[in-house]
Structure 1
């Protein structure tokens, strides 16, 4: 069990059915609302490793996510993301991959150290297993795509996937922002409305699909997000290694 501390938080792997149930309850609160008695659960929970970030002072669960290791791109059809995106291009990826999924922070928690500790956990996993690419779905709250027009315009202008890895449309309901938007982004507004997890990916050299999936079940818009470890700028890589401990 690994730990990385920043101020008052630590991460660890889920070690019991109760730990997984707590993560599912937090996911339900974060994605669907409610009083914490309900769970967000699916078939992928059984094949993933779950990571918990806890408040050291109170013991409260403040963040969670799950990871699915893949030996190479040929296994990408096993991923959650493959339900929503055509990932045939990435099936040729030769290196180890990790899908980072269901990432969420407890409602009302805004301490940036929570995200730093979560990235420390990811960095440790990358270091320990030789992963070459992270990927997953980065979610915007709600399904009104035009309310995020500046964020999507910024993604179009600067952060689309390389053509060799570009995900194709698979979901029935999508917002094709790379085709539809013809505006220059207001960078300040774009960054304010962009999910923190996605901002972190992009700061490290991550890229996204050219369309967003409209997920009415979770009341989100999400973009496929990829990050090749070898493309992370050296200063960012050093910071991640420091977080990994």
Structure 2
């Protein structure tokens, strides 16, 4: 940008002011920093491509998801929703090299107004989210999806930055409720009987937020009686992302869904903003200023 300004013939007295303006605009989407890590929205198509490359590493190479030949050719995990979503990144600024090497975590964010104009949310392919949204015409929803982090960065501070970014983004856009799929590894729900039953008996969505898996995909979560559940062992068996959602105050939809392509068993996580535990609001800040 400096070269462009100088080559344009602008006087030196004007250029610094414009540079500051560009810098301020570029940093409006930086939601937080911890040490060398930074969370912000992808600003360019190249940065979105870096997020898709990270997803390929995690979902395809690590988790063995089935993707198209084109995804394999490009080494990017992508679908039609990526073009309409915002992409939250965690970037390690201490790494030298291309941006693709510095993106270590990502989340895909889709607001209700955008989804409504482009055919709906991704999650409706598995869960009856349209009914949930219709029952809350005064609320603004946001879908969280495609969360992944490189193995070496699956630490508390990376997760904190991702939540910092989600929270700041939700505040910026006046979001009232978030939802998205949470996944268990594998396509045999019975292998997760303890954790799924715990969710069914202890975290099922309240009546006014009720949502369930699509009938043709519905898999029962109530695989064990409540009295047979060891809560400590059940919590230990939960995937970290779902456990984190529960700590924030999230609820779980009725029924699971097998996603054969991604080799997962999915549940729907629903988090009204009013449910977020006070200790987390205090920690991240009501204005999302904790790590800003």
Q: Could you tell me the TM-score, scaled by structure 2's length?
A: 0.76
Mapped pair 1:58 → 2:95: yes
Q: Name 2:36's counterpart in structure 1.
A: 8
Q: CA RMSD in A?
A: 2.5
Q: Name 2:50's counterpart in structure 1.
A: 22
SS in 2 for 1:161: coil
Distance 1:243 1:191, change over 3 A: farther
Pairwise CA distance, 1:171: 6.2
- 1:145-156 to structure 2, matched below 5 A, reads 145-156=189-200
Q: Name 2:14's counterpart in structure 1.
A: none
Distance 1:166 1:77, change over 3 A: farther
Distance 2:176 2:260 in 1: 32
Pairwise CA distance, 1:31: 1.7
Q: Name 1:48's counterpart in structure 2.
A: 85
Distance 1:89 1:126, change over 3 A: closer
Mapped pair 1:83 → 2:125: yes
1:7–1:113 contact (8 Å) kept in structure 2 = no
2:34–2:291 contact (8 Å) kept in structure 1 = no
2:182–2:269 contact (8 Å) kept in structure 1 = yes
Pairwise CA distance, 1:75: 7.7
Pairwise CA distance, 1:71: 4.3
Unmatched runs of 5 consecutive residues or more in structure 1:
none
- Whose radius of gyration is greater, 1 or 2? 2
Pairwise CA distance, 1:29: 2.0
More strand by share: 1
Would you say how many aligned residue pairs link Structure 1 and Structure 2?
244
Distance 2:178 2:118 in 1: 12
2:252–2:268 contact (8 Å) kept in structure 1 = yes
Q: Name 1:202's counterpart in structure 2.
A: 246
Deviation by residue 1:191-225 (Cα, 9 ceiling, x = unmatched): 22312221121111100112111001011111111
